[in-house]
Structure 1
Amino acid sequence: MAGIIFYDIPSSLEPQAWSHNTWRVRYALNIKGIPYQTVWVEYPDIEAVCKKIGASPTGEEAPHYTLPVIQDTSTGAVISDGPLIVEYLDKQYPDTPALFPPGTLALQAGFTAAHAHAISPVRQFVIPRVNSRLNPRSEEYFRRTREQDWGNKMEDITPVGEARVVEWGKYRDGLGKVDSWFKKSTGPFLTGESVTFADVSVVSCLIWLKVIFGEDSPEWKDIASWHDGRWDGLVNAFAKYQH
C-alpha cells in the first residue's frame, strides 16, 4: 500500500479529478514524487469518512468536514486542509522539492488569499457547471448546499445577457492583476525558476476551470487567450504533474 492515502472527490468525468482544492495536494504529491493511493469520496460521505479516520474539521465556526485529507500510513498522521497538508509534506519529506521554502510561508499565505479574491467573480460561472459534472449522489448534495449558500436556484446562479459580459470581464480583470504579479518575476513561476505552493494554487484553479468548462469550451478558449497566453502556458508547464 502507498505511504500516503489521499482522499479526493470524484466526478463523472474521466479522469475523475476536478476540484481546485484537492488539485493543490495532488499536484504537490506529484511534484514531490511521493507515492500515494487515491480514495474517492462522494460529497455526502465526506463527514463520516473524516470522522472514521480521525481527520479534523476545517470549519472555524461549526464542525465542517472537507477534502482534501491525507493519511500517512508511515507516521499515522491524518492531516486536513490543503496548505496544512503541503506544510506537513515539506517537513516530513525534506528530500523532496519544498513548496514552502524557508521564510515564505506568510508571504505565500497572503498571495493565495489575494489570488482567491481576485478571481472570485468566476465562481458564479463555474459552480453550476461543477454541479453537472458530479455523480448523482454528490450532485444532489452539491445542489442543495450551494443553492442554500447562493440563495438561488442552481440554474439561476450564472448571469445572462449584458450582466454575463460584465461579470466575465471582472474575472478577466482579476486575472489581469495576477498577471501583473507574475510579470515581476524573473522566471516562469512567481519566485523565478522554482515552483512554490503559490504557483500550485494558481494552476489548480486553472485546471479546475479547464476540466469543468471543457478544453474546447468558449470559456476556456477565452482564458487561454488572455494575457499573452500565460494561463494556458502555466497549465501546460504543470502537465507532467497532472495525474
Structure 2
Amino acid sequence: MEFKPIIFYDLAGRVNKCYSNNTWKIRLVLNYKAVPYEVVHTEYPDIKDLLISKGVKPNVIDEYTWFPFTLPAVTLPNGTTVQNSRAIVDELERLFPSPSMRLDNGYTERAIRLAHDLMMGLGADNCYRLYSRTYNPRTTTHFNNVYAPFFKVSSLSELAESPLVWDGAWASAQDALKKTKELLGEHPEGPFVEGTTFSYADCLIGGVWQWLRVPNPEMFQRVMSYDESFRKHQEALAPYLERDGS
C-alpha cells in the first residue's frame, strides 16, 4: 500500500523559510525522524477556518496555548488532522517510534517552560521584527490587531521606539537565558540537552533559536553570544534545519 506523506501546515511569509518557533518544533521532529511530508503554507487569519474545515477541535486554553486554533497542525496518513505541538509529537512517536524523541527523559517540561520564558522576555523585540520584516500584508494586519493590545500600543510599529525592544527585551530575558545556560550545562559533553543524545527538548529550545534567526538576526547573534553552549547547540541542529521552507 502506498504511504501517504504527512501534510504539515506552516505559516506563510515573505520568504520561503520557516520562522515560527511553534512550527519549528514539529518540523525538527519530522526532519530528525526523516518522515516524508508536504508543506501547506497558511496565513494567520486563515488558520481557524482551515482547521475547522478539517474537523479539528479547539485547543484547551492554558498558560502555553493562547488561541483555540493554532499552527503547527498536521494531517496524518489516515486523514486525521491534529493541532497543538505536544499532541502532534505524541502521534508522530506512535506512528514513527524510531528514532525516539525521548519525551519522558525528564527534560521536556523544563524545556517547554524555558522556551516560553525566553519568548516572553524577547517577545516585544521579536514581535516587532516579525511584524515589520516577515509577514505578508493580510497576516501583518491580523497580527497587529491581536498583539498590539498585549503591548499596550495602537500599532506594533510604535515598538520601534519603545524601551521594550532591544536592550529592554534583553534585560527581560536574562533569567530565562541564565536558566537555559544551566540546562545546557548539565551535560557539558553536549551539544544537546542530554549531551550527545537528541530529544524533543532540543526541538523546543531550537524552535526559539529559529524564531529569532529568520526575522531578527541581530538579536539572534546577541543571544548566541550569551554562552558558547548556545551556539554549539544551534550548530548541532544543522542537519535537521536544512529543510526549512517547502
- TM-score category (smaller protein): 0.7 to 0.9
The structural deviation recorded for 1:164 is 4.9
The answer to whether 1:67 aligns with 2:67 is no
Aligned equivalents of 1:5 and 1:55: distance in 2? 14
Partner of 2:199: 196
Q: In structure 2, do the counterparts of structure 1 residues 9 and 158 end up closer, same or farther at CA, with 3 Å as the change threshold?
A: same
Residue 84 (structure 1) shift: 1.4
SS in 2 for 1:121: helix
| Cα shift at 1:149 | 2.7
Superposition pairs of residues 150-165 of structure 1, within 5 angstroms: 150-152=151-153, 153-157=155-159, 160=162, 164-165=166-167
- 1:190–1:199 contact (8 Å) kept in structure 2: yes
When structure 1 is superposed on structure 2, of 121-130 and 177-186 the one drifting more is 177-186
Q: Deviations over 1:63-118 (max 9, x none)?
A: 72111100012x23321101211111011112x211135x33x6512431244225
- The amino acid that maps onto 2:117 is H
When residues 162 and 16 of structure 1 are mapped into structure 2, their CA distance, relative to the original with a 3 A threshold, is: closer
Name the CA distance, whole Å, in 2 between partners of 1:53 and 1:98.
Answer: 28
TM-score normalised per structure 2: 0.86
Q: What residue is the counterpart of 2:52 in the other structure?
A: 51
Structure 1 unaligned spans of 5+ = none
1:111/1:161 Cα in 2 relative to 1: closer, same or farther (>3 Å)? Answer: closer
Runs (4 or more) in structure 1 with deviation over 6 Å come to none
Structure 1 residues 192 and 162: alpha-carbon distance in aligned structure 2, compared to 1, 3 A threshold: closer
| Counterpart AA for 1:197 | Y
Tell me, in whole angstroms, the C-alpha distance in 1 between the residues paired with 2:58 and 2:87. Answer: 13
CA distance in 2, matches of 1:177, 1:160: 26
For residues 162 and 7 of structure 1, the distance between their equivalents in structure 2, rounded to whole angstroms, comes to 31
Cα separation, partners in 2 of 1:143 and 1:161, compared to 1, 3 Å: closer
Q: CA deviation at 1:237?
A: 1.2
Question: How far did 1:158 drift?
Answer: 5.8
Provide closer, same or farther for how the CA distance between residues 54 and 21 of structure 1 changes in structure 2, counting only shifts above 3 A.
Answer: same
- Write 1 or 2 for the structure with the bigger share of helix: 1
Give ranges in structure 2 of 5+ residues lacking alignment.
Answer: none
Give 3-state SS (helix, strand or coil) of 1:220's partner.
helix
The two structures have a TM-score, normalised by structure 1, of 0.87
Identity of aligned residues (%): 24
Measured against aligned partners, the alpha-carbon deviations of 1:191-220 in whole angstroms (never above 9, x if no partner) come to 221111111100110011011113xx3x23
- Where in structure 2 are the equivalents of 1:84-233 lying within 5 Å? 84-94=87-97, 96-101=98-103, 103-104=104-105, 107-132=107-132, 133-152=134-153, 153-157=155-159, 160=162, 164-185=166-187, 186-214=189-217, 217=218, 219-228=219-228, 230-233=229-232
> In 1, Cα distance between the equivalents of 2:216 and 2:67?
31
When structure 1 is superposed on structure 2, of 29-38 and 232-241 the one drifting more is: 232-241
- Which residue is 1:41 aligned to? 42
- The alpha carbon displacement at 1:177 in A equals 1.7
Q: Which whole-Å CA distance do the structure 1 matches of 2:197 and 2:164 have between them?
A: 41
Contact 1:124 1:158 in 2 (8 A): no
Alignment of 1:18-37 (within 5 A): 18-37=19-38
